[in-house]
Chains A and B, each alone.
Chain A
Amino acid sequence: MIAIFKREIQYFFSSPVGYLIIGIFLILNGLFLWVFEGDYNVFNYGFADLSKFFALIPWVFLFLIPAICMKSFSEEKKLGTLELLFIKPISLWQTVLAKFFGNLVLVLVALLPTLLYVYCISQLGTTSANFDLGLVIGSYLGTIFLVSCYIAIGLFASTLSENQIVAFIIAVLLCFLFYYGFHSFATIFPDGPLAVFVEKLGMKSHFESIARGVVDTRDLIYFISVAIFFLFVTVVQLKNAKR
Chain B
Amino acid sequence: MKKTIVSLIKAIVLLVVINVIATFVYTRFDITEDRRFTLTKPAVATVEKFKSPGIIEIQFC
A134 touches B31 (CB 8 A): yes
Say yes or no: is A233 at the interface (Cβ < 8 Å to chain B): yes
Q: Is the interface of B mostly helix, strand, loop or mixed?
A: mixed
* Min C-beta distance of B23 to chain A, whole Å: 6
Cβ-neighbour of B29 out of A135, A212, A215 (below 8 A): A215
A132 touches B7 (CB 8 A): no
A205 to B15, CA, bound (A): 18
Q: Is the interface of A mostly helix, strand, loop or mixed?
A: helix
B27 touches A240 (CB 8 A): no
A174 to B31, CA, bound (A): 31
Which B residues lie within 8 Å of A133 (CB)?
33
A225 touches B36 (CB 8 A): no
B31 touches A225 (CB 8 A): no
Say yes or no: is A222 at the interface (Cβ < 8 Å to chain B): yes
A121 to B37, CA, bound (A): 22
B22 touches A214 (CB 8 A): no
Given contacts A216-B26, A217-B27, A225-B15, contact A236 B7 (CB under 8 A): yes
Given contacts A221-B19, A225-B18, contact A214 B30 (CB under 8 A): yes
Within 8 A of B (CB), among A187-243: 212-218, 221-222, 225-226, 229, 232-233, 236, 239-240
Cβ-neighbour of B28 out of A134, A215, A225, A229 (below 8 A): A215
B11 touches A218 (CB 8 A): no
Which B residues lie within 8 Å of A137 (CB)?
31
| Chain B residue with Cβ nearest A221 | B22
Which B residues lie within 8 Å of A58 (CB)?
none
A214 touches B11 (CB 8 A): no
A56 to B33, CA, bound (A): 23
A213 to B31, CA, bound (A): 5
| Chain A residue with Cβ nearest B21 | A221
A221 to B32, CA, bound (A): 21
Within 8 A of A (CB), among B12-57: 12, 15, 18-19, 22-23, 25-34, 36-37
Interface residues of chain B, those whose CB is within 8 Å of chain A, are: 4, 7-8, 11-12, 15, 18-19, 22-23, 25-34, 36-37
18 A-B residue pairs with CB within 8 Å:
A133-B33, A134-B30, A135-B31, A135-B32, A138-B31, A212-B32, A212-B37, A213-B37, A214-B30, A215-B29, A217-B27, A221-B19, A225-B15, A225-B18, A229-B12, A233-B8, A233-B11, A236-B8
**With contacts A134-B31, A134-B33, A214-B30 known, what are 8 further pairs, Cβ within 8 A?**
A135-B33, A215-B28, A216-B27, A217-B22, A218-B19, A232-B11, A233-B11, A239-B4
